[in-house]
A and B are shown apart, each in its own frame.
Chain A
Amino acid sequence: MAKQEFDVLIVGSGLSGGIAAQVLTQKGISCLMLDAGPEVNLATNRTTKNPWELPYRGLNKPGRLPHVVQANEFNANQWVDEKEVPYTHDPASPYNWVRVRFVGGRSLFWGRQSFRMSDWEFKSADKEGVGENWPVSHADLDPFYSRVEGIFRVSGRKEGKPHFPDGNFLDADYGPDSATVKKITEVAQARGILVSKIRASNGRNGQASSVNLLLPDAVATGKLQIVPNAIVREITVDKKTGLANGANFVDRHSRQELHVKARVVVMAAGSLESTRIMLNSGTPGAGLANSSGLLGRYVMDQFYGVQVVASVPEARGGKAAEGMMGGTALLPRFQNLKKGENRKFSKGYGMLIASGGAALPGFFTEYGEALQQKLDLHSGACMTASIYGERLARYENHVRINKDVKDAWGIPVLHAEVKDSPNEYNMAKDAADTAEDMLKAAGWDILSKTDKFHPPGYSIHEVGSCRMGDDPKKSVLNKWNQSHDVKNLFVVDGGCFVSCGWQNSSLTIMALAMRASEYLAEQMRVGAV
């Protein structure tokens, strides 16, 4: 029995796949979505427990999820089991790949910070003389950003600054700033630094996921079928035309191998996973859509962890006056916005300063009562500065297939080789020094300062590995997220990024996915794809 051929196969049901499904089905295009994971009902699957009700008192099963620093015993079942779907790296250069496999992907759990990128990222070669320009600019993405912001109900404070572009924001009332946030704002402004607020997706009913904001609309058109527990092994190719014609997938439970036919394939499995599938497809050893040889190259994410903590003398011992502590200040990237700043690094970092935190035991060489007194003294009196640092796009930082290791379904896994460079170390040092300088200038005492940061991958904003560009020799995708080589293959997740910016990536992923999906729908309408 010949099975249905779908117009479009979408691989992955997260934010990027969800946007593609929404746009394409609303244009009347029939879509099949395969997702490797099961569907989960967050409302019934989560229950409040005390740590001592769990087998390991909340400390987690030893050795489980060694690469997921974010994991604890409460959330351990959210993440992809590293034994089930392993990946490899040189022990000397760890890579922390944090993955989710459910219908909805990571959007079930994301932190919802929603920033646009600016032309200081998209056009850094022009603006700063560093890195490469993207084939798109902020102006190209602006209308798509606005629509995504509308769907996700993003709130933010407008600033009118092109390096921190405003969006289509809900009216949000931030209330009056606390005295400490006012103080640090003055200090930063005196240094010519813009101080703003976090921008975040409010979503609906406490959720801002693909599952509640994108997929229901698409299913309602009658044009989308979602098959869970369907793990795509490889994209299949028509030998005569070289075009993609569907995918081989394996049932997660039974491990039965199946094939599905489609006229167009849209990859949305989450940057590195889409790249893995493409490397496992097409020509053995080279992969599919890889005439540039760049598939897997330029893996990036922001580096997190640099932190400076200060204590506000007047707030110690629980003596903070009403309105003194609380709230946050966001300092969007403020370095290298002008050419020739002559710093020891290029690109830059954003900084978040939170008021009202606590000190950690490791800030003191005390124990027992003496330690407890210190912790109590500074409790609620701390100002914590942390940063979002941009890792540069570097050819050497890459993922490739490790033929010797296979996952639970026999699919070859990725080997990650991603390292930090002096640019990251110098930027981290500058960030720690700058935060210390500002917190001190505000009249506060530094309790702790570190310029260390987590290994690559930790920020869970991994992008790149399938970058876009105008030159097919220097990029895998064109400016419409379409493969230069295989015209009916699109990659709409973060794989297409040319640089990672300091900003959390999801809003940009979705704006690009929306733009690409509209282009695809139009190309299908005129018969070009």
Chain B
Amino acid sequence: MQAIAATPAVPALVAPALVAEQTLQAQAPPARPAGPLAAGKRDAVGEPVPHFFTASQLAALHRLCELLMPPMGGNPGAVEAGVPEFLDFHVGQSPTDRQQMYKGGLDLLNARATKQFGKAFAALDAKQADSVIRPLLVLVPWQFELPKEPGARFMTAAHDDIRVATRNSREWTQAAIAAGRRPVGAQLYFAPVDPIYRG
């Protein structure tokens, strides 16, 4: 106690510090925003870089997206919603059976296109492509089990994925808002609780 009270340097420091404080307040920076500082969204700033499918598979997927889910009723189509690139990412992270199903299915589209029309699936016009797609479309009354036959299996899964990924896209929501419609798809997200282990 004694030692602190006797320290002469302390009162001398007070005055200049106060002056500095006032000067700082005079040129106060803007208030800190209420939300988080790092509020940017990855897909609002970056373009996805596909790396899983081969170039010819990706081209076939692109064409398939255009045909299965084109822009309709003021909504973006699958290509506008970035679905080919999204599926490259999503399938690329999937268990191998899903990867094989997709790769095999896209290769099949190219093989049938080459056999029937002598060119890749991506280069087919809508009528030609229809004759490749249609034999692979089957009724699916029970949506929880994919058909056994590999071509139909791929087409059923891809059709569903393409539709869902399009409707779930940022572009779909933006189009709805722009057209004055109520955007669909928002849900309650349940955050992780106190996680301890991720195998």
Contact = CB atoms under 8 A, between A and B. Distances in A.
A113 to B, nearest CB: 20
Interface residues of B, number: 53
A363 B139 contact: yes
A51 to B, nearest CB: 4
B191 A52 contact: no
A69 B145 CA distance: 11
Interface stretch (B8-16, B54-62, B93-101, B117-125): B93-101
B189 A46 contact: yes
A50 B186 contact: yes
A63 interface: yes
Nearest to B167: A51
B70 A369 contact: yes
A452 B144 CA distance: 9
A45 B193 contact: yes
Interface in B113-161: 133-134, 137-145, 156, 159-161
Nearest to A61: B93
Contacts of A165: none
B159 A52 contact: no
B194 A62 contact: no
B73 A372 contact: yes
A248 interface: no
Contact of A252 (B43, B139, B196): B196
Interface in A61-90: 61-63, 69, 74-78, 81, 83-84
A74 B142 contact: no
Most buried by B among A52, A84, A360, A364: A52
A452 B142 contact: yes
A362 interface: yes
Interface residues of A, number: 51
A362 B143 CA distance: 7
Interface string A445-487: 0001110101000000000000000000000000000000000
B181 interface: no
Nearest to B75: A372
Interface stretch (B27-35, B104-112, B168-176): B168-176
B164 A372 contact: no
Contacts of B22: none
Interface in A303-353: 305, 307
A10 B172 CA distance: 50
B142 to A, nearest CB: 4
A40 B156 CA distance: 38
Given A62-B95, A368-B70, A450 B189 contact: no
Given A59-B164, A372-B72, A49 B144 contact: no
Contacts, number: 137
A529 interface: no
B93 A49 contact: no
Contact of A408 (B187, B189, B191, B199): B199
A450 B142 contact: yes
A334 to B, nearest CB: 24
Given A51-B185, A75-B190, A369-B70, A59 B161 contact: yes
A361 B159 contact: yes
Interface in A193-251: 229
A131 interface: no
Contacts of B173: 50, 52
Contacts of B168: 51-52, 57-59
A102 interface: yes
Query: Which label, helix, strand, loop or mixed, suits the secondary structure of the A interface?
Result: loop
B71 to A, nearest CB: 10
A362 B190 CA distance: 30
A367 B156 CA distance: 11
Nearest to A252: B196
A145 to B, nearest CB: 31
A62 B91 CA distance: 8
Contacts of B164: 58-59
Contact of A83 (B144, B170, B199): B199
B182 interface: no
Given A50-B186, A54-B189, A408 B137 contact: no
A49 B187 contact: yes
A305 B143 CA distance: 10
Contacts of B187: 48-49, 51, 58, 74
Contact of B192 (A47, A57, A77, A305): A77
A427 B98 CA distance: 33
A62 B98 contact: yes
B186 A361 contact: no
Nearest to B163: A361
A365 interface: yes
A173 interface: no
Contacts of B69: 367-368
B90 interface: yes
A53 B41 contact: yes
Contacts of A150: none
B185 A46 contact: no
A367 B193 contact: no
Nearest to B192: A77
A48 B183 CA distance: 13
A491 B189 CA distance: 34
8 contacts: A46-B188, A48-B189, A49-B186, A51-B186, A54-B189, A305-B142, A368-B72, A369-B70
Nearest 9 pairs of A and B residues by beta carbon: A362-B140, A83-B199, A51-B168, A62-B94, A450-B141, A450-B142, A49-B189, A452-B142, A52-B170
Given A47-B191, A84-B199, 5 more contacts: A52-B43, A56-B90, A57-B86, A361-B163, A362-B160
